[in-house]
Amino acid sequence: VTTIVIVTKPTPELVKHTKLVAVWLLEKYKNLTVYVGDTFKQNPAFSYETLSAESPTIVDRLKFWSRQDFPECVDLAVTLGGDGTVLYTSLLFQRKVPPILSFHLGSLGFLTVFNFGQFQETLGHIIDSQSIHANLRMRIKCTVYKRITNCVSDIENLTDPSSEPSICNLCLDDPVGENSCSLSKCGVHHVLNELVVDRGANPNMVMLELFVDNTHLTTILADGLVIATATGSTAYSLSAGGSLIHPEMCAILVTQICPHTLTCRPMVIPGYKELRICVPPQARSTAWASFDGHHRVELNRGDSITITASNYPLPSICKDDQSIDWFNGLRKVLNWNERQRQKPFHSDSWDIE
């Protein structure tokens, strides 16, 4: 390990913790380079100028990162905060992700299993040891396509969204055909928790067409749709009634948000399947998409998003064991299946004869 990135939410308390960790690492390991957020350089709580005067040799190996100027080669990422900080770190590494060591200093703790009070022992063990116990958490690759030509005739003539050809299929399957629309790839996001497509500020329900491996599955009329990973099954999808999925499973969870139907159920799909979400021509309004809560984009009629398993999973360092960490999180964070115990029957309260 020669390069470590520390990702922290810049609150006064966490800035002090960041300085504590960075200084300890630089003093203990003389060949180590540590990156912290560029906002810390001018933060009074970080006291960069004082640190420069007192420890010039340390400051030479203390670097600052920003989203525009991020180090290419990172051996270890350390997060100080909650699960949101881990999600933000995932967004920073849109391709290859280094092992992530997460200290619990936030509200939730599904992804942050290490106690900050023992950071010296934990970091020392990981840096000095030849191996670590990490879980490769599946991410999903979301590719956004925008319609760039006017297909008025196709839109007006399409009445059955499941009929062939539909505008959703024309756009991707026949991109140069006489009756097709041209699409432009306008964004690729590797997502750890979930893709959310919702109605935004529109008063109407969102209408979406859902395809699996280019086969039309259903038309969705709801407030929105959550496409979640196993890691994200304990987040927004859970709030919308989705199932819990063990993070070692390679699966994609499809959960509708407030669907206007009595027969809707969440669906778990194998991770090797390709999903496609399209805004159909009959939609009364546009839709909005967000990726782990960031990069919100509007989807107009004819726009679509394809979802596949990412080739770049996120390696999260485990405290004990992946299953133990996850089950402990369910019990401690969500109080899963907890209720008052039933009282036993007493022999004198009923006649056994």
Q: What is the pLDDT of residues 288-298, one digit of tens each?
A: 999 999 999 99
Q: Among the residues of 193-288, which ranges form H helices?
A: 236-239
| pLDDT number for residue 255 | 97
pLDDT band at 175 (very low <50, low <70, confident <90, very high): very low
What percent of the chain clears pLDDT 90, i.e. is strictly above it?
61
Mean pLDDT computed over every residue of the chain: 87
253, pLDDT greater than 80? yes
CA-based end-to-end distance of the chain: 73
* Integer Cα distance of 232 and 315 in angstroms: 15
Average pLDDT rounded to a whole number, residues 248-259: 96
Average pLDDT rounded to a whole number, residues 307-333: 90
Q: What is the pLDDT of residues 185-209, one digit of tens each?
A: 989 999 999 999 999 999 999 999 9
Q: What is the pLDDT of residues 211-246, one digit of tens each?
A: 999 999 999 999 999 999 999 999 999 999 999 999
Average pLDDT rounded to a whole number, residues 169-191: 65
131, pLDDT greater than 80? no
| pLDDT number for residue 347 | 59
Question: Going by C-beta distance under 8 Å and a sequence separation of 6 or more, which residues neighbour residue 192?
Answer: 86, 87, 90, 137, 139, 229, 231, 232, 292, 314
Peptide bond just before 281 cis, omega within 30 deg: no
Beta strands (DSSP E) in the chain are 3-8, 33-37, 62-65, 76-81, 100-104, 114-115, 134-137, 140-147, 183-191, 194-198, 206-212, 215-222, 224-228, 251-257, 267-270, 275-278, 287-291, 294-299, 304-309, 314-317
Q: What is the pLDDT of residues 261-286, one digit of tens each?
A: 999 899 999 999 999 999 998 899 99
172, pLDDT greater than 60? no
Domains of the chain and CATH, by start: 3-137 (3.40.50.10330), 140-309 (2.60.200.30)
More reliable by pLDDT, 274 or 345 = 274
Q: Which residues pair with 209 in a beta bridge?
A: 219, 278
CA separation (Å) from 84 to 9, 193, 288, 337? Answer: 9, 10, 21, 25
| Element (DSSP H or E) covering residue 153 | helix 152-157
Q: Which residue bears the tokens 């000095």?
A: 128
155, pLDDT greater than 50? no
pLDDT band at 168 (very low <50, low <70, confident <90, very high): low
* Integer Cα distance of 248 and 245 in angstroms: 8
CA separation (Å) from 14 to 46, 61, 90, 120? Answer: 10, 21, 19, 16
Crossing angle (nearest 10°) for helices 119-128 and 12-28:
40
pLDDT band at 315 (very low <50, low <70, confident <90, very high): very high
Q: Which residue bears the tokens 């989203």?
A: 67
The DSSP symbol for 127 reads H
| pLDDT number for residue 84 | 92
pTM score, whole prediction: 0.86
